Each structure stands twice: as structure tokens, then as C-alpha cells.
Amino acid sequence: MMGRTGGTIVAILAGAAVGAVAGILLAPDQGSKTRKRLGRGIKSGGDEIAHKFDDLKDQVRSLMNSKKVDLESTINSYVEKAGDKTENVIEVLEKKLAELKKEAKAINTK
């Protein structure tokens, strides 16, 4: 997603540079008119780059927010699983403790 945007920005810059050179070389107008046109073209290209940059920032924010939600969900899932396993371990340990107490009591009563 971001690769296409970066490629678009590079293409815009390259197009602006080629257009500027072609405009200067092939300009039938006076230099002052050509400079004004180039200035407008550069401003237009700059505006386009700024717009693309804003789009890119929005895409990055959106991606980060979605990844944050995914990460939180994954962490919550692991915490729940760990909690379930902890309960199981506690139950097993309590049963084992009860068995050991019975064995100890049996040994002490003999």
C-alpha cells in the first residue's frame, strides 16, 4: 500500500522535472512567461505531493490503529488462556496436595 504511494510521489517529481526541462527547451514564450508557468507547475506538483503525503499519513495511522487493536486482542486471548491454564494447574496441585496429606496421615497413623 505504502509502496504505491511512494512510487506515485517519485513519478510526480520525475514528471515535474521532465516537464520543467521540456518547457524550458521548447518554450516559444518569453522567459518571464515560462518562469511563471514553471512556478505554477512546481506549486501544483508541491500541492499534489503534500496531498499524497497527507494520504500516506492517514494510511499509516489507520494501519497502526488496526494493528494496535489486533495486538490488544491477541494479548487478551493469551491472558485468558493463561488464566484458564493457571486454574487447571491450581486444581491439579490442590488434588496432589490432598493426596499427599492422606498419605502423610496414613503413615502417621501406622
Tens of pLDDT along 15-34?
A: 888 877 776 777 666 767 76
Q: How deeply is 25 buried, as exposed, middle or buried, from its count of CB atoms within 10 A (0-12, 13-18, 19+)?
A: exposed
Give the pLDDT band of residue 110 (cuts 50, 70, 90).
Answer: low
Give whole-number Cα distances, 13 to 26, 47, 65, in Å: 20, 12, 30
Give whole-number Cα distances, 92 to 84, 105, 109, in Å: 13, 20, 26
Q: Cα–Cα distance between 50 and 5 in angstroms, integer?
A: 12
Residue 2 has pLDDT above 60, yes or no: no
Query: Higher pLDDT residue, 98 or 63?
Result: 98
- Give residue 96's domain range: 2-109
Tens of pLDDT along 35-71?
A: 777 677 777 777 788 888 888 888 888 888 777 778 7
Q: How many domains does the chain have?
A: 1
Residue 1 has pLDDT above 50, yes or no: no
Q: What is the pLDDT of residue 63?
A: 80
Q: What percent of the chain has pLDDT over 70?
A: 84
